[in-house]
Structure 1
Amino acid sequence: MKFATYSSNGETFYGAVTENGMIALNDVCPQWPTLFDAVQAGGLDALAEAAKDRPVSHTKYAYEMVLPNARRILCVGVNFPDRNAEYKDGSEQPKFMSLFPRFASGFTGHDRPLIRPPESAQLDYEGEVAIVIGKGGRRIAQKDAYDHIAALTLCNEGTIRDWVRHAKFNVTQGKNWDRSGAIGPWLVPFADAAQLDDARIVTRVNGEVRQDDVLSRMMHPIRREIEYISTFMTLEPGDIIVTGTPTGSGARLDPPQFLKPGDVVEVEVNGIGVLRNTVQDEAP
């Protein structure tokens, strides 16, 4: 079963996703006002049970960022061998992973437009798998890492490229423009290592494949990401780790091809689904 945050008639709900529509679960599980609260409480199994045999409550709705009140979103950068080579700086595979924070305000939902700001025409795409922590911990061993994952989702880690280089060491300002990226459409509960170990990321722009790779080629696998991050901070339920994007982002093409209004970007991962977004300029 899949779970989403969505809006309908001016109200926000969370619930179970079906082929015929949404089954709202807010009123069924009032102890969890949001999907984030349900994840924090380890409640995804209870949500699945609550949704059984319930009728669809909404057939007209719009997806929201799947955990719009997520408190901590940590992203892993340059995590595929070809991605490292794209920088053409002669560097070897890094011993430690690059990390940076993103905030929930920088993301929108599935089938919503990514927003290109007037300050830059360099809106770029990055298709990624995101994991949602379900069990907290500190100094988590790699062998235990998957036990701490509650669910999987998709991320288009939209980036304003020229703002990434405003400072010598800092990418934060290029990574956090309002609604420049997307996370969704839904959470898929994590049950099997094959969901990650055998996963393939494909990113398409207007139907053209731009990124295509498998998670097994990551320089820093997801087990290692959880181990490393939990060394310096206690991971908490509801934390999101965006795990890294393959080669093929628009900035690295020759010539560069940044997103423009009217473009359609799709991020697809087998077993999770498709995250689709259009692009539009920020309204004056």
Structure 2
Amino acid sequence: MRIASLQSQHGPFLGVRRGDGYVDANAALPDLPRDLGAVLRAGLLERLTDVEGPLVRDVTYRPLVSDPGKILCLGVNYIDHAKEASLQKPDYPVVFGRFTTSFVGHEVPLVRPRLSTHFDYEAELLVVIGRRGRAIPRERALEHVAGYALLNDGTIRDYQKRTSQWTVGKNFDRTGAMGPDLVTPDELPPGARGLRIRGRLNGETMQEANTTDMVFDVVSAIALLSEAMTLDPGDVIAMGTPGGVGFVREPPVFLKPGDVFEVEVDGVGTLRNSIIDEA
């Protein structure tokens, strides 16, 4: 099953993908919340499995989870990215947070801020939590996954490097993207392992790896993060980016207005965003 957070002329709704369009799940189920996080917290995801109705195609994508309690991101979680950034392979996950105002949806422009031209791309796999848990054992970790999606962890590199904490550089408004669809685990290998991940800039492949190259895989991330904090339905975990980011290249490659960046993971889909300057 594939579910998107959408907007039409009639307002926000959840769409269940059918071919080249979406069934409006809220029209079929009027009591259903219109945000994916709320659906997950209420334990209603399975109600969307058999919804039917006319296909809707004229839509705008919202960020997949518009109201997550936690947006947890793993840094330097691919060995090649750690090497290119001259960082040690971590013995424990490097974790930082992002906030909802930093995200847009699929096919919605990312905004290069007027304060910086050092706007970098990061192609990532996203894990969406569907079941509450704390101190989750590894053998039960995947039971807590509602599904997978894609993320561009867009980063303002000069602000990221101003301090040892990455928060500001990772949280400029509308610099990241999340979507397009939640893909439920039954459509993918366990833990989304063995999938190619690619980041393309204007059609040119800049990043390419396999999800087996992660330092901490989905199982490890859930188990380790839940040692410290309760993971709630609707929380999201960004699994880090492979090598090939812009700031390590010679010369550096940064996103500029008119560019299009795509994140692609086999079986999950493609997240695509153009770039504009802040007004």
State the TM-score bracket (shorter-chain normalisation): over 0.9
Is 1:239 the equivalent of 2:235? yes
Q: What residue in structure 2 maps to residue 166 of structure 1?
A: 162
Secondary structure of 1:225's aligned partner: helix
Task: Could you tell me which runs of 5 or more consecutive residues in structure 2 were left unpaired when the two chains were aligned.
Answer: none
Q: What residue in structure 2 maps to residue 179 of structure 1?
A: 174
Q: What residue in structure 1 maps to residue 97 of structure 2?
A: 101
Deviation at 1:279, TM superposition (A): 0.3
Q: What residue in structure 2 maps to residue 114 of structure 1?
A: 110
Q: What residue in structure 1 maps to residue 22 of structure 2?
A: 22
Q: What residue in structure 2 maps to residue 13 of structure 1?
A: 13
Is 1:270 the equivalent of 2:269? no
Q: Distance in 2 between matches of 1:252 and 1:35?
A: 36
Deviation at 1:43, TM superposition (A): 2.1
Is 1:55 the equivalent of 2:50? no
The one of 224, 242, 250 equivalent to 1:254 is 250
Q: Distance in 1 between matches of 2:38 and 2:209?
A: 33
Instruction: Give a deviation string over 1:215-239, Cα, whole Å, max 9, x none.
Output: 1111111111111100000111110
Task: Could you tell me which runs of 5 or more consecutive residues in structure 1 were left unpaired when the two chains were aligned.
Answer: none
Distance 1:32 1:193, change over 3 A: same
**Mapped contact 1:146–1:193 kept (Cα < 8 A):** no
Secondary structure of 1:172's aligned partner: coil
Q: Distance in 2 between matches of 1:114 and 1:10?
A: 24
Deviation at 1:274, TM superposition (A): 0.3
Q: Distance in 2 between matches of 1:195 and 1:269?
A: 13
**Mapped contact 2:258–2:275 kept (Cα < 8 A):** yes
**Mapped contact 1:110–1:183 kept (Cα < 8 A):** yes
Secondary structure of 1:94's aligned partner: coil
Deviation at 1:60, TM superposition (A): 1.1
Distance 1:266 1:234, change over 3 A: same
Instruction: Give a deviation string over 1:138-188, Cα, whole Å, max 9, x none.
Output: 111112111110010000110111110122x21000001111010000111
Q: Distance in 2 between matches of 1:187 and 1:232?
A: 26
Secondary structure of 2:37's aligned partner: helix
Instruction: Give a deviation string over 1:110-135, Cα, whole Å, max 9, x none.
Output: 11111001000011100000000111
Which 4+ runs in 1 deviate beyond 6 A? none
Q: Distance in 2 between matches of 1:10 and 1:251?
A: 42
Q: What residue in structure 1 maps to residue 71 of structure 2?
A: 73
% of aligned pairs identical? 39
Distance 1:10 1:181, change over 3 A: farther
Distance 1:221 1:101, change over 3 A: same
Superposition TM-score, scaled by structure 1 size: 0.93
Instruction: Please report the RMSD computed on the Cα atoms of aligned residues, expressed in angstroms.
Output: 1.4
Secondary structure of 2:135's aligned partner: coil
**Mapped contact 1:8–1:61 kept (Cα < 8 A):** yes
What code does the residue aligned with 2:167 have?
Answer: T
**Mapped contact 1:71–1:104 kept (Cα < 8 A):** no
Instruction: Give a deviation string over 1:50-106, Cα, whole Å, max 9, x none.
Output: x13x222x32111111111222100000011111111225x3x22111000001111
Aligned length: 277
**Mapped contact 1:26–1:34 kept (Cα < 8 A):** no
Distance 1:243 1:182, change over 3 A: same
Q: Distance in 2 between matches of 1:172 and 1:183?
A: 18
Secondary structure of 2:257's aligned partner: coil
